[in-house]
Structure 1
């Protein structure tokens, strides 16, 4: 092979690796939001689709004319660590009301290539009023309009909605606001990632709370791994006889590598016995290492588990440590007392640690300077640590995970004697 051919092969591998990491962080990549990244994915579409299908069992759809690439991520164990977030108000996570309005709004938009904010709100009012399981949408109330605007801004960030006249935020102050939208219904239909549609779960609304966990698992159950699906739940007896060795190995490969590439850290203690056997087998280790290399990561393997390092930071959707919110700063500061308590910390101890932070830094965390501020601060900080794979709940205690010990705090002193902060050194 000539020198030029070698250089071209190396460039292709580097581009594929870069595109893989881009898509891991942004499973919906649009030309409007990131033109260079979208062009890279468009150019390397075929090898990227093959890599994601083999490694994680995820499908990649690239629509050059419509200007988007959609990586459909499916997780075997869905959790709340990646909520939809409000584009406004410091990216707070969606609450239950906003999720309800998101689903209803998306359903109404499917038949509306063009609409106004008033027409769409009227459709949502009618849809919620017709469903006895939903609280009716009332645009007269400002909190309801704020929730509706958060939903629309999220859809705008996905390029599903595009305001061609007016701005969405004006609806917060007045229900009479005039905003005209263009709707990309094709992209809207690409958003759901669950392999089983929610409409197939024919369950009476009053039974949903009691069966929620089972129904949620039914939404992400995939037929390719064997077993039968009835009303969104697998027939376990049939599954035992229907699953072949090939299907079982496929499930093991995808379940392990999905978590390795999508989670901050993969602990051996969190793997099932068959998954642990797979990653310690010769074949499993070879596939794992090859996949990591192809994606351009560095693999850190320790006795406790696996962690991928992206030197370019392309695959990182949420950073830690990070000073973009008070809770994230508090999470870093709470690591010190948490790591110093091998048995973990009780809620009362965490609240005390939060109070100590507020006392040490009185000009900081203004939103938490209240009677219950210390408890709220510690709860929010623990949530950040859990989402980052640095802490877990063990009964009524919060315990530091092995990766938490990668961080330590050093104190830096400024010229202002009252302005002192602690910063992270990994």
Structure 2
């Protein structure tokens, strides 16, 4: 009898452990797909995602309306942006020119053999770029142009669309296509998942094609919404869930009246479901809602973080937050935004003064005369991406969530190897 009881307890214990493991594996899959919606089989979470494919597919469909495809060759979460007006999104270091090259490179690869060289990719891309209707000029003669092409190739390598077999891209940049090359395998299943559009651009006739960029973006991701009250509620829930998963914070004032009413009524249950699935913590305030990742991994821009740019951003955040608190203490918190904004040159002046205290911990280029202007620009861009500030006409406007950041007293601990980091972060109630 005693042996039977122990065996029963062991079975229950194993069952509990299995359930816990499955929950953690599911949560890791949600987080990985949100951060890497196009994923090759080499990704560290891909095996777990294949095991949890059915549960993940059902959850994303119900909560966000995003389609998930998981196959042996890779996984693709077809994310739809919750806010098409967000200009802070994008691939690091990319401008319009590189995005055009990325699209042309995908067009070349779609028609290519299973293997292609970097030189051949560049030559065929040049042929497509010569189309007069593109109004685009590109050659491989200058080093900066070859670097643009290599940046596109490295993006495709990172996404798993290309797999390097041999060669070196950096030598191609410096020596040119006559002296250096690289060979790639083309992963067609992942290439086919590059475009996450509801309707492909090639399906429009010239007469009906949208004219402006905003119209094109909306046409690409426009989804059918059932003409019923339930259909509209589902569309609102999906739109808000997408923003909560993708954006650092969702402010009530950024929502239209219908979405605002739904958000204020449902944000508690919605936040609970999303936090449980993705391992996040909800911070609800009168101004809005943020789903915070305490591990700091589910973000493109971490704060606080290591490095000069991150430290400067934290200093600027404290500077802006202190100005914001001063306005509130003076009773002009309700004053127009223009009266509470700070000009970029004021931030640069602040960093010039901060350099005397913290400069020895910054990289050498950040200590050069006049570098504070570039540092201010970097800090403002990072704060914009984190929804802590916005920039309009050369002025920076602090946003409500900035009040949570305050720089603590510096704690300097000298070691025999590396000087300690300066400053700390505390939550400002």
TM range (shorter): 0.7 to 0.9
Q: Does 1:330 align with 2:312?
A: yes
From 56, 81, 84, the counterpart of 2:88: 81
C-alpha distance in structure 2 between counterparts of 1:147 and 1:395, whole Å:
30
Mean Cα displacement is larger for which, 406-415 or 255-264?
Answer: 406-415
Q: Which moved more, 1:136-145 or 1:354-363?
A: 354-363
Residues 85-130 of structure 1: CA distance to partner in whole angstroms, max 9, x if unpaired? 2xxxxxxx21222111111111111011211111111101111112
Is the contact between residue 342 and residue 397 of structure 2 (CA under 8 Å) also seen in structure 1? yes
38-47 vs 388-397, which moves further: 388-397
Q: Does 1:277 align with 2:248?
A: no
Gaps of at least 5 residues in structure 1 are 86-92, 227-242
- Does the CA-based 8 Å contact 1:26-1:317 persist in structure 2? no
DSSP 3-state at the match of 2:397? strand
Structure 1 position 179 matched with structure 2 position 182: yes
Q: Matched residues in 1 for 2:245 and 2:122: separation?
A: 39
Question: In structure 2, which of residues 375, 384, 387 is the aligned counterpart of residue 386 of structure 1?
Answer: 384
Q: 1:59, 1:72 within 8 Å by CA — same for their partners in 2? A: yes
Which 5+ residue runs of structure 2 have no aligned equivalent?
1-7, 325-339
Residues 313 and 381 of structure 1, relative CA distance in 2, 3 Å threshold: closer
C-alpha separation between the residues in 2 aligned to 1:357 and 1:374? 10
Shift of residue 255, structure 1, vs aligned partner:
0.8
Report matched runs for 1:126-141 at 5 Å.
126-141=127-142
The residue matched to 2:323 in structure 1 has which SS? coil
RMSD: 2.6
For residues 360 and 312 of structure 1, the distance between their equivalents in structure 2, rounded to whole angstroms, comes to 30
- Aligned-partner Cα distance in 1 for 2:392–2:142: 41
Aligned match of 1:90: none
| 382-391 vs 261-270, greater mean Cα deviation | 261-270
Matched, 1:316 2:299: yes
In structure 2, what is the equivalent of residue 58 of structure 1?
66
The answer as to 2:177 corresponding to 1:170 is no
1:171 CA drift (Å): 0.9
Q: Quote the offset at 1:156 in angstroms.
A: 0.8
Match of 1:355 in 2: 352
User: How many Å apart are 1:366 and its aligned residue?
Assistant: 3.7
CA contact (8 A) 2:40 2:190 kept: no
> In structure 2, do the counterparts of structure 1 residues 214 and 359 end up closer, same or farther at CA, with 3 Å as the change threshold?
farther
Tell me if the contact between 1:201 and 1:215 (Cα under 8 Å) persists in the aligned partners.
Answer: no
Q: Which moved further from structure 2: 262-271 or 368-377?
A: 368-377
Q: Give SS of 2:152's match.
A: helix
Contact between 2:281 and 2:292, CA under 8 Å: does it hold in 1? yes
> Which of these residues, 186, 199, 202, is aligned with residue 202 of structure 2?
199
Query: How far off its partner does 1:158 sit?
Result: 1.1
The structure-2 alpha-carbon separation of the partners of 1:421 and 1:319, relative to structure 1 and needing over 3 Å to count, comes to closer
Match of 2:239 in 1: 255
From 280, 290, 294, the counterpart of 1:297: 280
CA deviations over 1:118-164 (Å, ceiling 9, x no partner): 11111011111123423332111111001111111111111111121
Displacement of 1:261: 1.2
Give the deviation of 1:274 after TM superposition.
Answer: 1.6
CA distance in 1, matches of 2:239, 2:160: 30
Q: 1-side partners of 2:55 and 2:169: how far apart?
A: 39
Report the alpha carbon displacement of residue 214 of structure 1 after superposing the two structures with TM.
2.7
**Cα–Cα, structure 1 residues 171 and 269, in superposed 2: closer, same or farther, change >3 Å?**
same
C-alpha separation between the residues in 2 aligned to 1:46 and 1:187? 20
1:335 Cα deviation from its structure 2 partner: 1.1
> How high is the TM-score relative to the length of structure 2?
0.83
Specify whether residues 132 and 203 from structure 1 end up closer, same or farther in structure 2 by C-alpha distance, changes over 3 A only. same
Partner of residue 27, structure 2: 17
* Preserved contact between residue 279 and residue 288 of structure 1 (Cα < 8 Å): no
Cα distance change, pair 153–272 in 1 and its aligned pair in 2 (3 A): same
